[in-house]
Amino acid sequence: MHEHLEPKLDTLLAAYRQACPDPEPGADFMPRLWSRIEARQSIPFAMLRLGRVFVSASAALCLAMVLLLLSPVSQTSAPSISYVEALSISDPHQVMAYADVETDNGDSLWK
């Protein structure tokens, strides 16, 4: 269809190759390239560091929660005595005075 243009196109493309020689790189080509490499490197590194901090904080939080959950259990695990009994243990005379309880031999303290 456009066969007559084929040789013309070949000549034109060859002339284009001649008209576009390889350009010389700028003086700052390598420093700019390295700064771009380092800039891209710094993003994953920052994210990695942030990730490590997050993992450590999560682990510490989990440990704290486990301790928190375990400690009330240990306190409530042996409520074998009542409140009144506990009071009597801590101060037996005071409790007995209010309750007007008898001593072991059956005498009232208020006699």
Partner 1 sequence: MLIDFGLIERAKEGDSAAFNEVVKVYRKRILGTIARLIGRPEDVEDVAQEVFLRLYYSLDQLRAPEVFEPWLYRLTVNAAYDYMRRQRRRPESRMADLSEQQVQMADADAGGRHRDEEQRRAGVREFVQSLLSKVSEEDRILLTLKEVEGLSLKELEAVYRVNENALKVRLFRARQRVLKAFAALQDHPAKTDESE
8 binds partner 1 (CB under 8 A): yes
Compute the C-alpha angle 81/66/49, nearest 5°.
Answer: 160
- Minimum distance between the CB of residue 28 and partner 1, rounded to whole angstroms? 9
- Minimum distance between the CB of residue 52 and partner 1, rounded to whole angstroms? 22
Return the residue matching tokens 């390889």.
Answer: 22
Return the residue matching tokens 């101060």.
Answer: 91
Nearer to partner 1, 13 or 70 (CB): 13
* Distance in angstroms (rounded) separating the CA atoms of residues 111 and 109: 6
* Distance in angstroms (rounded) separating the CA atoms of residues 49 and 35: 21
> Which amino acid is located at 44 in the chain?
P
* Distance in angstroms (rounded) separating the CA atoms of residues 97 and 109: 8
Nearer to partner 1, 32 or 52 (CB): 32
20 binds partner 1 (CB under 8 A): yes
Region 32-91 residues binding partner 1, contact defined as CB under 8 A = 32-33, 36-37, 40
Judged by the rule CB under 8 A, the positions of this chain that interact with partner 1 are: 1-2, 5-6, 8-13, 15-26, 29-30, 32-33, 36-37, 40
